[in-house]
Amino acid sequence: MTASRPLSLVTGGSSGIGAAFARQLAALGHDLVLTARRADRLEALAAELREQHVTQVTVLPYDLVDPATPRTLCDELHRRGLQVDWLINNAGYGVPGTFVANDWATHADFLQVLLTAPTELAWRLLPGMRQRGHGRIINVASLAGHVPGPAGHTLYAASKAYLIKFSQSLALENRTAGVNVCALCPGFTWSEFHDVTRTRDKMNKLPGFMWLSAEEVVRQGIAAVERGDAVYIPGRVNRAIKTMVQLLPDQLALWLSARESKRYRNTQI
């Protein structure tokens, strides 16, 4: 940790894994910058954290779908004299349905939020971390980035695989500069994600042992980045799935993915 209170920027901080990061980092003594689209939820969370912890919480409502947002956000941080020590690239969502069922604008927005925005935020904030000799970057990826891409969420697994490789390279480039980078790869996590993608009914059919709480995912993720793990999969079941897929022939792994994805993906639209 730095000598003063570390400052963490959490994207997608209004709910789910992002809100869990905010709560746990505040409990660890961090000041926070929270950004997401829903200002009312951010303000409610900020009020909660200020009451429960001696922490400064800055709320900056921005939509990462706007290509100008990463620069605008970082300019505002600079204007306020805020230096980010921890970057939590958490913002994300899924686009249900087949690739051609959605218009290009929908896919372009998705790529901006899931790929371009976290990459640009890391590029803009990393030099300051290196200069100060300390920093942490957690890119919230997914177990989906380690297994064959399923039908029905065409860009999701691909985007998470990118974050994994991106994090590995950043970790190697910056470890000697005191900056740890980790791709956190949760599996099924209790959050609003499946409500937004309208797959909650299907997901509820999965056995309970396959799920982790957002709080547990975050607890393990914070420990992983502090250890210097470049990639971390929380949960024994998820790690076993990744190992099994690696050992299977590619065609068999793809066949299993096609069979299982019908249970929890909408492949008809």
| Residues labelled catalytic | 156
Q: 231: which strand partners?
A: 183
Q: CB of 142 within 8 A of CB of 93?
A: no
Instruction: Return the bridge partners of 190, or none.
Output: 213
Residue 119 tokens, joined = 């990459």
Per-residue burial over 68-104, b if 16 or more Cβ lie within 10 Å, else e, is: ebbeebbeebeeeebbbbbbbbbbbbbbbbeeeebee
Q: What is the 3-state secondary structure (H, E, C) of 174-190?
A: HHHHCEEEEEECCCEEE
